[in-house]
Amino acid sequence: MQSELQSRDVFYVSDGTAITCETLGHVVLGQFSFLPNEKTFPFVETDDKLDDLLKHIQHSYEKHGIKPLVFFSLVIPHMRERMLQAPAHCYDVLESIVQRVAEDTQMAPTPKLQRSRSVSKDSDTYFNRISAIEYTLAHDDGISLKDLNSADIILLGVSRSGKTPTSLYMAMQFGLRVVNYPFIAEDMKMLRLLPEFEFHRHKLFGLTIEPERLTQIRENRLSGSEYASSEQCEQEVATIEALFRREAIPYINTSSLSVEEITTRIFERTGLKRRLV
């Protein structure tokens, strides 16, 4: 039972966005059965910010009596040393990779703060990413179905099947313009594709989920409601999967997948190209 699993504090720390630390941390922690209580500290670039972080780590250690896990990337030497002295199990996410590359290329690395994608370096890709995020937010959860010609992909599924986090991840990490549309209970009575989607069938992709998992997610949001009932969740999932099959819309089950895994599988199924930004 999930409730019986041990919980453990996990910190993601970086002098940049901490996205790399989070991504690698999620991959590693996925191999273990404990429940991570995750906290992210981006842009730890000064001693004052590091002092605040170390207080959180110390508090975690004193409260639980076990060392938290810290996935970090700090390039300033003295700050890195201070991090390693904290009462925690610390893992420098880049250390072994950088060392291997240095050995293989016979070149010395030149550490620098992780502002690897500054506006001045490549303003076009930066503003393209901002534009993609703005577009995706404007088309989140069925808010708008205008300008579908600009969409790279349109995600369909029942409410709480993972559409919004996947959409934002694709926009933020790959600069993709994503529309997501939830089929709600009222839609289930006469479920069909909206006319707006008929002209963009090649962009449609479905997300489904196990009814038990959907019930659990909805219970955390609206406990005891019909929306969260097992009967409602089972009916919605069965209906939406029938639609996907009838309309030949490719789809995947998101129940046990992270947004990174969902995105990768979507790329594999659709042939959609990553835009590195």
Percent of the chain whose pLDDT exceeds 90:
63
- When pLDDT is cut at 50, 70 and 90, the band that residue 117 belongs to is very low
Q: Burial, 246: exposed, middle or buried (Cβ in 10 Å; 0-12, 13-18, 19+)?
A: exposed
Q: Which domains are delineated in the chain?
A: 2-105 (3.40.50), 123-270 (3.40.50)
Nearest to 217 by CA among 256, 180, 187: 256
Q: What is the arithmetic mean of pLDDT over 117-127? A: 59
pLDDT at residue 73 is higher than 70: yes
pLDDT at residue 1 is higher than 70: no
User: pLDDT tens digits for 236-277?
Assistant: 999 999 999 999 999 999 999 989 899 999 999 998 887 655
Angstrom distance (rounded) from CA 130 to CA 117: 13
Nearest to 74 by CA among 64, 66, 85, 87: 85
pTM, full prediction: 0.63
120/129: higher pLDDT: 129
Q: What is the arithmetic mean of pLDDT over 95-108? A: 82
- When pLDDT is cut at 50, 70 and 90, the band that residue 185 belongs to is low
Percent of the chain whose pLDDT exceeds 70:
91
Angstrom distance (rounded) from CA 74 to CA 83: 9
Side-chain-side CA neighbours of residue 226 (13 Å): 4
